[in-house]
Structure 1
Amino acid sequence: MDHARFPHVYLNAAYCKASVEPQIVSRAGLIATGITEDGGREVPGVVVCDSEARVFWTEFLRHLRERGLSRGLLSIGGHHLELLTK
């Protein structure tokens, strides 16, 4: 993520059905959309996990930071305000 700076990052999740042998289950896709300084949009990260639980968000955000996403003005979409606590 060295090529762009994202002053705004929107976090959201979408659920989809996935085949986890031997059944079909609902999985959460966690998505980070970065808005660049010139107004462009990029997706610095997406991951599919069991749910939107705090543990999965924390792991996802740590992964983004390890890949070079730096702090900026963080904007959160959906009902994820709990990510700002603790």
Structure 2
Amino acid sequence: MGLTLYELEGCPYCETVADALDDRGIEYETEWVDALHSQRDEVKRVSGQRGVPVLVDDERGVTMAESQNILTYVETTVA
């Protein structure tokens, strides 16, 4: 799949990004992460940090964090 969103249940920033993808009908895979930062090894492996949300766009070779950056990327590049 082209897009993967790493998110945490109940994270408002994650929900904002997921809503933006859903509103645009963009297909993506969700990887749910652990609430404990110390258990987010997969997020660290793909993005170099343990915070969420993180969007990975395999088709374009892009990995990014920070919800506002992701929203801008979705609006200008993916949509």
TM-score normalised to the size of structure 2? 0.28
Higher helix share: 2
Structure number with greater Rg is 1
* TM, length-normalised to structure 1: 0.27
